[in-house]
C-alpha cells in the first residue's frame, strides 16, 4: 500500500515536474522541494535558500541589472556569459590590444581590469510583506487610489526595513500585485575583468546560430569582485581586496547525461504566463508582425551594407546583433504559438474557467472578467500597435530619429529651467557620442527610407543632407551656447523640424491613450490572477518574472521540433569542426582549438565517450536575464552556464510548453578546457574547487 502511494506520488511529480515555473527561492519548502527530489535532486530547500546559514543563493549575483553571474572561488571569481561581459571586453580593447578577437587573460590580480559603472547585486534576505503593503487598501478605493496607497506604504516599509548600513532594499510586486516581497540586497561596485575567450569561441555561430540548436558557443567570461578590507562593498580602489564570498559553487568534472536533474538559479526579466487568449492573439497577430517587418526592413539594409564593406561590418556588428536578436525571437515566438495551438487551448481553458465561476457562484465577482478583457484589448489594439511601431522606428532602428528623440526630451527639460536643461544636455551629448562612435549616415539614411513608410506617409530623406546631426562635430557645435540659443538653433535643424510632430503626437495622443487603457488592463489582470487561483486552485501557479531571483528546475533532455526529427541534448567539439568555415566571421575556428581537437588533448574535461562536450539542453523554464545563470546538479555543483533558448520554444515567455521549450547551457567542462588547455590560465583552475560527484 505504502509503496503504491509512493509510486503514485512519484508518477504525479514526474508529470507535473515538466510543467516549468520560476519559483521564489524563499518558498521552496513543500511542493518544490519534493518535486526536485523526485527529479533526482539531493538538495533541501534550505541548501538553496537560507537566511541564517550560507546557501546556494549567496553565490548568485545579478550582473549589471540585466544578466546573472555566479561566484566560483573563495576569492570572488565570477562567471557569466561572454555576451553579458561583452561591452566591458570591448571597452578595454583597442587595435593594439584586441581582446575581442584574441581574448584576454589576466595572469595575476594586478592585471585584472576595473570597469566603471559595472555592479553585482546579491540577495541577503527575502520577506513576504503582502499583508503590510495591502493593510490600508480598501475595496471602495479606485485603482488609482489603491496604487498610490500601495506605493506610499511600500516606501515606508522599505525605509524602515532592518538592514546594515552598507545594504540596500527594495519591494517588488508579484502575481500582478497580489503579493509583495521585500528584498535586502548587497551591491558590489568594484568588478574587474579576469578573462574572456576570443569572440570566435565566445560568440561562435554568432547570429546564424543565435536561438538555435544544435549549438556550439563558448559563451562565457570571467570577472572578480573586490571588496574593502572588511569584505564589504566599496567603490573602486587599488587597496580593495578579492571578495571572500559566503558561498561559492564547486564545479563538477563529471558533467551531465540525459535525464540528469538541473537547477537554474538567476534573475529572469519579464514573462507573461497568465494572459488571456485575446492578449496573446494581439501580440502574435498584430504587434509582432509589424515589429518583425520593421526590423526586417532595417536588417535588409544593414546586412547588404555590412557585406559590401568591411569597415561597416565591424562598425555595425553590435547594433545589428541587437536588432537581429529580438527579431529572430519574435519570429520563433509566433511560430511556436501557432504550432502549439496556444490560442485555441487558452480559449478552451477560458470556457472551463467561465463554467467553474458559474458553478462556484462567483459570477458577481469574476463573471465578466473575460468579456472585459475582450473589450479592453479591442480598444487597445490600434494604439498598442502604433506605440510599438513608434518605439521600433524612432528609438530602436533609425539612429537619426533616435538622436532627435533625445533632443526633443532635452527641449522639454528646457521648459523646466536652465539647470534641468544642462543636465539633459549632458546626457544627450553622451548619447550622441555613443551613437556616433559607430555611425554611418548613408546606411542610416537607407534604413530611414526603408522603415519610415511602415510608420507614416510623411517621408523626407533630404533631411539627411541638411541636418547637423549626421556629423558629431557639427552636432556638438549646434549644442554650444546659451540654452535659449541652442533651442532656437535646434528648431532650425531640418531633421528636428521633420521629427518633432511625431514626438508631439506620441506625447499628446499615443502615450496618454496607451497608458490609460494599459492601467485598466493591469488592474483587470490583477483580479484575473486572483480569480484563477481561487477558481482553479489545483493548477500550477508561479509568479511571472520581474527581474528578481528565481529557481527553475528540470532535466537534461532533447526534443522533437518536427515530425521524425529528434534533437540530442548534447553537442561536442566535433560539431565545431563540422561548422568550421575558414576566415568566416561567424564560423572561423582558432588554430589552437583545431590542434587540440586533432590531438584529442582534452585532459580531464572529456566525456566518458572520449569526446569534448560543448553545450547541452534542459527543460528549465528560463527567460531573458537568465543569461549567465548557473546550471546546478543534484548535489549543488556547477555543471552548466545558461545562455539561450531553442527557437521553437521562445514562446515560453507567454506559453511554456514542456514538449518543446528548452534552455541552452554551455557545458562547464568546455569552459574549464578553454581556460586551461586553450588559454593556459591554469592558475584560475587552481583557484576553483573541482569535484567528482558521480565517482563512488
Ligand atoms: N539569444 C541570446 C539572448 O537573448 C543570446 C544573444 C547574444 N548572442 C547573439 N548572437 N546576439 O540574449
Ligand atoms: N540570451 C538571453 C539573455 O541574455 C537568455 C536567453 C533567453 O532569453 O532565454 O538573457
626 alpha carbon – ligand 2 mean position (Å)? 6
- For the residues of 514-549, what is the DSSP string, one character each? HHHHHHHHHHHHHHHHHHHHHH-TTS---PPP-SS-
Of 64, 82, 83, best ligand 1 pocket probe by most atoms within 8 Å of the beta carbon:
83
Q: How far apart are CA 243 and CA 75, in angstroms?
A: 6
State yes or no: pLDDT of 5 exceeds 60. Answer: no
% pLDDT > 90, the chain? 93
DSSP β-ladder status, 190-196 and 221-227: antiparallel
Question: Which tens digits make up the pLDDT trace of 439-495?
Answer: 999 999 999 999 999 999 999 999 999 999 999 999 999 999 999 999 999 999 999
219 is catalytic: yes
Tell me the average pLDDT across 582-597: 96
627 is catalytic: yes
Residue-wise burial string across 612-624, b where 16 or more C-beta atoms lie within 10 A, e elsewhere: bbbbbbbbbbbbb
State yes or no: pLDDT of 13 exceeds 70. Answer: no
Residue-wise burial string across 561-574, b where 16 or more C-beta atoms lie within 10 A, e elsewhere: beeeeebebbbbbe
- Closest C-alpha to ligand 1, atom 8: 210
Question: Which tens digits make up the pLDDT trace of 491-533?
Answer: 999 999 999 999 999 999 999 999 999 999 999 999 999 999 9
State yes or no: pLDDT of 91 exceeds 90. Answer: no
State yes or no: pLDDT of 256 exceeds 80. Answer: yes
Lookup result for grid cell 526595513: 161
Q: Which atom of ligand 1 is nearest to the CA of 324?
A: 11
Question: Which tens digits make up the pLDDT trace of 365-414?
Answer: 999 999 999 999 999 999 999 999 999 999 999 999 999 999 999 999 99
62-71, 88-97, 338-347, 636-645: least confident range = 88-97
Which pLDDT score, from 0 to 100, does residue 12 have?
46
Which pLDDT score, from 0 to 100, does residue 210 have?
97
State yes or no: pLDDT of 3 exceeds 80. Answer: no
State yes or no: pLDDT of 4 exceeds 50. Answer: no
Q: Is 645 in the pocket of ligand 2 (CB under 6 A)?
A: yes
489 alpha carbon – ligand 1 mean position (Å)? 41
Q: Is 627 in the pocket of ligand 2 (CB under 6 A)?
A: yes
Tell me the average pLDDT across 652-674: 97
Q: Which residue of the set 62, 82, 83, 216 is catalytic? A: 83
79 alpha carbon – ligand 2 mean position (Å)? 16
State yes or no: pLDDT of 303 exceeds 60. Answer: yes
Which pLDDT score, from 0 to 100, does residue 572 have?
98
207 alpha carbon – ligand 2 mean position (Å)? 14
252 is catalytic: no
Which pLDDT score, from 0 to 100, does residue 18 have?
55
State yes or no: pLDDT of 175 exceeds 70. Answer: yes
Secondary structure element (H or E) that encloses residue 183, with its range: strand 179-188
Residues with CB under 6 A from ligand 1: 83, 203, 206-207, 210-211, 321, 325, 624, 627, 644
The mean of the pLDDT values for the chain is: 95
Q: Is 210 in the pocket of ligand 2 (CB under 6 A)?
A: no
Band (6; pLDDT cuts 50, 70, 90): very low
What structural domains and CATH numbers belong to the chain? 18-119+189-267+549-695 (2.40.10.120), 121-188 (no CATH), 277-535 (no CATH)
Which pLDDT score, from 0 to 100, does residue 90 have?
87
Give whole-number Cα distances, 194 to 9, 95, 104, 219, in Å. Answer: 47, 20, 8, 15
576 alpha carbon – ligand 2 mean position (Å)? 22
Amino acid at each position: 500500500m505504502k509503496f503504491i502511494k509512493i509510486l503514485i506520488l512519484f508518477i504525479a511529480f514526474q508529470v507535473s515536474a515538466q510543467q516549468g515555473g520560476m519559483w521564489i527561492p524563499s518558498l521552496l519548502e513543500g511542493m518544490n522541494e519534493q518535486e526536485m527530489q523526485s527529479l533526482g535532486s539531493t538538495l533541501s530547500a534550505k541548501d538553496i535558500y537560507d537566511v541564517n546559514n550560507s546557501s546556494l543563493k549567496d553565490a548568485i549575483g545579478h550582473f549589471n541589472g540585466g544578466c546573472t553571474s555566479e561566484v566560483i572561488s573563495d576569492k570572488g571569481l565570477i562567471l557569466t556569459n561572454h555576451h553579458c561581459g561583452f561591452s566591458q571586453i570591448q571597452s578595454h580593447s583597442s587595435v593594439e590590444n584586441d581582446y575581442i578577437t584574441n581574448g584576454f587573460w589576466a595572469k595575476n590580480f594586478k592585471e585584472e581590469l576595473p570597469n566603471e559603472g559595472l555592479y553585482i547585486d546579491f540577495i541577503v534576505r527575502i520577506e513576504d510583506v503582502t499583508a503590510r503593503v495591502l493593510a490600508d487598501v480598501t475595496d471602495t478605493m479606485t485603482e488609482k487610489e489603491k496604487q498610490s496607497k500601495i506605493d506610499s506604504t511600500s516606501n515606508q516599509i522599505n525605509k524602515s526595513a532592518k538592514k546594515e548600513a552598507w545594504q540596500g532594499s527594495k519591494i517588488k510586486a508579484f502575481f500582478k500585485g497580489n503579493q509583495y516581497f521585500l528584498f535586502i540586497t548587497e551591491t558590489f561596485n568594484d568588478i574587474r575583468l579576469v578573462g574572456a575567450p576570443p569572440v570566435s569561441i565566445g560568440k561562435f555561430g554568432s547570429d546564424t546560430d543565435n536561438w538555435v540548436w544544435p549549438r556550439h558557443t563558448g559563451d562565457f567570461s570571467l570577472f572578480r569582485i573586490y571588496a574593502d578590507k572588511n569584505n564589504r562593498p566599496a567603490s573602486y580602489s587599488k587597496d580593495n581586496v578579492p571578495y571572500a564570498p559566503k558561498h561559492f559553487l564547486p564545479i563538477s568534472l563529471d558533467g551531465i547525461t540525459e535525464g540528469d536533474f538541473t537547477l537554474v538559479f538567476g534573475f529572469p526579466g519579464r514573462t507573461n504566463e497568465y494572459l488571456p487568449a485575446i492578449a496573446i492573439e494581439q501580440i502574435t497577430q498584430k504587434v509582432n508582425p509589424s515589429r518583425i517587418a520593421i526590423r526586417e526592413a532595417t536588417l535588409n539594409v544593414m546586412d547588404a551594407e555590412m557585406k559590401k564593406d568591411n569597415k561597416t561590418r565591424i562598425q555595425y556588428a553590435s547594433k545589428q546583433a541587437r536588432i537581429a536578436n529580438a527579431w529572430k525571437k519574435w519570429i520563433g515566438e509566433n511560430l511556436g504559438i501557432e504550432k502549439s495551438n496556444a490560442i485555441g487551448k487558452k480559449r478552451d481553458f477560458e470556457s472551463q474557467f467561465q463554467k467553474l465561476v458559474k458553478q462556484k457562484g462567483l459570477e458577481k465577482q469574476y463573471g465578466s472578467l473575460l468579456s472585459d478583457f475582450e473589450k479592453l484589448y479591442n480598444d487597445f489594439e490600434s494604439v498598442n500597435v502604433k506605440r510599438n511601431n513608434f518605439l521600433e522606428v524612432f528609438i530602436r532602428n533609425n539612429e537619426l530619429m533616435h538622436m532627435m528623440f533625445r533632443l526633443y526630451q532635452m527641449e522639454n527639460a528646457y521648459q523646466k529651467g536652465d539647470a534641468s536643461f544642462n543636465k539633459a544636455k549632458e546626457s544627450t551629448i553622451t548619447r550622441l557620442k555613443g551613437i556616433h562612435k559607430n555611425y554611418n549616415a548613408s546606411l542610416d539614411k537607407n534604413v530611414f527610407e526603408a522603415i519610415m513608410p511602415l510608420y507614416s506617409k510623411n517621408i523626407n530623406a533630404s533631411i539627411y543632407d541638411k541636418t547637423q546631426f549626421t556629423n558629431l562635430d557639427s552636432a556638438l557645435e549646434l549644442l554650444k551656447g546659451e540654452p535659449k540659443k541652442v533651442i532656437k538653433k535646434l528648431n532650425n535643424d531640418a531633421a528636428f523640424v521633420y521629427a518633432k510632430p511625431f514626438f508631439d503626437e506620441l506625447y499628446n495622443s499615443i502615450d496618454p491613450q496607451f497608458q490609460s487603457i494599459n492601467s485598466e488592463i493591469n488592474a483587470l489582470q490583477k483580479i484575473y490572477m486572483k480569480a484563477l487561483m481561487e477558481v482553479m486552485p489545483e493548477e500550477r501557479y508561479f509568479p511571472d518574472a520581474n527581474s528578481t531571483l528565481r529557481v527553475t528546475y528540470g532535466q537534461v533532455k532533447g526534443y522533437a521540433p518536427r515530425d521524425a526529427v529528434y534533437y540530442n541534448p548534447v553537442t561536442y567539439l566535433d560539431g565545431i569542426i563540422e561548422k568550421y568555415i575558414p576566415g568566416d566571421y561567424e564560423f572561423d575556428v582558432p588554430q589552437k582549438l583545431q590542434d587540440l581537437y586533432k590531438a584529442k588533448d582534452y585532459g580531464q574535461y572529456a566525456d566518458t565517450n572520449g569526446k569534448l562536450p560543448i553545450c547541452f539542453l534542459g527543460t528549465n523554464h528560463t527567460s531573458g536575464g537568465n543569461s549567465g545563470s548557473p546550471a546546478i546538479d543534484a548535489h549543488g555543483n556547477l555543471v552548466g552556464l545558461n545562455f539561450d533558448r531553442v527557437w521553437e520554444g521562445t514562446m515560453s515567455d507567454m506559453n511554456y510548453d514542456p514538449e518543446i521549450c528548452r534552455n541552452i547551457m554551455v557545458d562547464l567542462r568546455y569552459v574549464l578546457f578553454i581556460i586551461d588547455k586553450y588559454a593556459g590560465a591554469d592558475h584560475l583552475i587552481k583557484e576553483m574547487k573541482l569535484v567528482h560527484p558521480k565517482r563512488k
